[in-house]
């Protein structure tokens, strides 16, 4: 039987590159697409020698053309770290809106099923806890984070419109903080930031008083959830994340212990609109996908630190906060 063909946007990024690996391992032909604005070809260089893999260096906010058939599209292109989308706010809005529109159009032309990467940020600074899919969220549209949150909310909205109006097969995953190997060490997100600081012998920067919470999911669990959702028949949004919640201050202490460093914690101002609490309710994913995370934070953080440790010295470049 002919292999299925899948287009993955954001392929040179953290999640996109792991998705490429997973689909190749499952026997698919994979087309990776990326404009490298926050990604790195090193994340997928091991795939270039494979005949099942093709790469298009392309910005998805301009017309996307792929010759031949397509069975699935996974739209993961978008800056994903707060310092990235604050640096490139217009591109962030464009990739969630124009980029998603282009990919929905491509899916319609090819009669392909499309899964889009949404986020827990659609819940904003949530007023209910934990967050289930039926919560509408609390987003400040005009704040600095609004460029990401509203792009993702528009993305969900246009995806549902293509589903309802054109009958397109669509899937929406709401991803909660996911970490693991291939994150950019200087992308400013808490996991690489703290681990980079530990490796450089710098103090660990906790924003605010560190009482805000997050729930960290290991990449392997996240990819499994996304894979199952794509192959399911469920078209409304589904949360995929690890409900094991921790305050950022306690998390910083865990990283100091794990990395066996003697650095101290220093407190810096809390960024505007930084959500105070975040924890996924994953009952829906359990019910319809039979999915739940398996990797403990201790195990996942150790694997991630092992990855960062073996990177060349040049990758230890400091974050520009
Ligand atoms: P990442 O920055 O590592 O990867 C994003 C990739 O998209 C990069 O390789 C970048 O170059 C590419 N890209 C950006 N704009 C593009 C454009 N216009 N055209 C083509 N390529 C473009 O981030 P990530 O953590 O892998 O996130 C991937 C997706 O998952 C994003 O859509 C993000 O919003 C979503 N997400 C991630 C998390 C997480 O915790 N990692 C949480 C919620 C949602
Ligand atoms: N954070 C921090 N110090 C850092 C980087 C992040 O205290 O050097 C905090 C940040 O303010 C947020 C949490 O860690 O409360 C998670 O931040 P991240 O950027 O990883 O993800 P997001 O805010 O998008 O959930």
Can you give the CATH number for the domain in which 82 is found? 3.40.50.720
Q: Which of 14, 145, 190 to mutate to test the pocket of ligand 2 (most atoms within 8 A of CB)?
A: 190
Q: What is the mean pLDDT of residues 51-77?
A: 98
Predicted local distance difference test score (pLDDT) of residue 14: 98
In a domain, 318, yes or no: no
In a 10 Å sphere around its CB, with 0-12 CB exposed, 13-18 middle and 19+ buried, how is residue 217 labelled?
buried
307 carries an active-site annotation: no
What domain range is 40 assigned to? Answer: 5-179+217-240
Ligand 2: lining residues by beta carbon, under 6 Å? 81-82, 177, 189-190, 193, 205-207, 212, 214, 248, 271, 274
Confidence of residue 46 (pLDDT cuts 50, 70, 90): very high
Q: For residue 318, is pLDDT > 70?
A: no
Residue identified by tokens 């509408």 is 136
Q: How far apart are CA 80 and CA 92, in angstroms?
A: 9
Q: Residue 139 falls within a domain, yes or no?
A: yes
- CA pair distance 310, 289, nearest whole angstrom: 35
Using a 6 Å cutoff on CB, does residue 59 contact ligand 1? Answer: yes
Position 121 in a domain: yes
Burial 190-213, CB ≥16 within 10 A → b, else e:
bbbbbbbbbbeeeebbbbeebebb
**pLDDT at residue number 315:** 79
Give residue 194 CA to ligand 1 midpoint distance, Å. 20
Q: Residues 213, 242: contact at Cβ < 8 Å? A: no
Q: Give the C-alpha separation, 209 to 8, whole Å.
A: 38
Whether 188 is covered by a domain: the verdict is no
In a domain, 208, yes or no: no
Rounded to the nearest integer, the mean pLDDT of the chain is: 96
Ligand 1 centre distance from Cα of residue 268 (Å): 26
Per DSSP, the residues of 85-107 read: HHHSHHHHHHIIIIIHHHHHHHH
| Angle of the 248-259 helix axis to the 297-309 helix axis, nearest 10 | 60
Q: Of the residues 85, 148, 162, 227, which is catalytic?
A: 148
Question: Would you place residue 2 in the very low, low, confident or very high pLDDT band (cuts 50, 70, 90)?
Answer: confident
Question: Is residue 25 one of the residues assigned to a domain?
Answer: yes
DSSP, residue by residue, 152-185: HHHHHHHHHHHHHHH---EEEEEE--EE-TTS-T
Pocket mutation for ligand 2, best pick of 202, 248, 270 (most atoms within 8 Å of C-beta): 248
Place of tokens 């659609």: 122
Residues with Cβ < 8 Å from 6, sequence gap 6 or more? 23, 28, 29, 30, 31, 70, 71, 72, 73, 74
Instruction: Judge whether 245 lies within some domain.
Output: no
Residue 33, both tokens: 């697409």
Of 135, 115, 134, 114, which is closest to residue 124 (Cα–Cα)?
Answer: 135
142-168 in b/e form (b: 16+ CB < 10 A) is eeebbbbbbbbbebbebbbebbeeeeb
Q: pLDDT class for 314, splitting at 50, 70, 90?
A: confident
| Three-state SS at 5 | strand
Question: Which DSSP symbol is given to 6?
Answer: E
Please give the pLDDT value at position 226.
Answer: 99
Q: Given the CA of residue 60, which atom of ligand 1 is nearest to it?
A: 19
Which residue minimizes the CA distance to atom 14 of ligand 2? 190
Identify the bridge partners of residue 31 per DSSP, sorted by sequence position: 7, 54
Given a cut of 60, is residue 297 above it in pLDDT?
yes
pLDDT band, very low/low/confident/very high, at 319 (cuts 50, 70, 90): low
Cα 78 to ligand 1 centre (Å): 4
3-state helix, strand, coil in the chain (%, to 5): 40, 20, 40
Which residues are registered as beta bridge partners of 118? 174
Q: What confidence tens digit (pLDDT) does each residue in 237-273 have? A: 999 999 999 999 999 999 999 999 888 999 999 999 9
- Per DSSP, 2 falls in state P
Residue 192 token pair: 């690489």
Counting the structural domains of the chain, the total is 1
Mean pLDDT, rounded, for 143-160: 98
Q: Domain for residue 276, yes or no?
A: no
Q: Which residue has the tokens 């998705």?
A: 19
User: How far apart are the C-alpha atoms of 236 and 218, rounded to whole Å?
Assistant: 23
d(CA 178, CA 240): 9
With a 6 Å cutoff on the Cβ, whether 35 touches ligand 1 is yes
C-alpha span between 67 and 153 (Å, rounded): 30
């Amino acid at each position: 039987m002919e292999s299925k063909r899948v287009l993955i946007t954001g392929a040179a990024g953290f999640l996109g590159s792991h998705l490429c690996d997973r689909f190749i391992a499952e026997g698919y032909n994979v087309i990776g697409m990326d404009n490298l604005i926050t990604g790195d070809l090193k994340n997928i260089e091991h795939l270039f020698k494979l005949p099942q893999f093709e790469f298009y260096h392309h910005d998805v906010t301009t017309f996307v053309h792929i010759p031949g058939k397509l069975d699935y599209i996974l739209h993961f292109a978008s800056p994903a770290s707060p310092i990235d989308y604050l640096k490139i706010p217009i591109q962030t809005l464009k990739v969630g809106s124009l980029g998603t529109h282009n990919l929905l159009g491509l899916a319609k032309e090819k009669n392909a099923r499309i899964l889009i990467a949404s986020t827990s940020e659609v819940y904003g600074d949530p007023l209910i806890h934990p967050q289930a899919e039926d919560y509408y969220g609390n987003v400040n549209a005009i704040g600095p984070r609004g460029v990401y949150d509203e792009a993702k909310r528009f993305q969900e909205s246009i995806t549902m419109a293509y589903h309802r109006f054109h009958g397109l097969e669509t899937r929406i995953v709401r991803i909660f903080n996911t970490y693991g190997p291939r994150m950019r060490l200087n992308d400013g997100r808490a996991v690489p930031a703290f681990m980079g600081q530990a490796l450089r012998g710098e103090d660990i920067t906790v924003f605010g008083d560190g009482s805000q919470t997050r729930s960290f999911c290991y990449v392997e669990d996240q990819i499994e959830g996304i894979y199952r959702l794509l192959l399911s028949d469920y078209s409304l949004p589904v949360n995929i994340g690890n409900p094991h919640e921790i305050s950022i201050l306690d998390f910083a202490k865990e990283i100091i212990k794990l990395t066996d460093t003697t650095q101290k914690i220093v407190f810096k101002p809390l960024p505007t609109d930084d959500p105070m609490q975040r924890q996924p309710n994953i009952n829906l994913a359990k019910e319809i996908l039979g999915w739940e995370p398996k990797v403990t934070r201790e195990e996942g953080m150790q694997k991630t630190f092992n990855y960062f440790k073996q990177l060349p010295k040049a990758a230890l470049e400091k974050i520009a906060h």
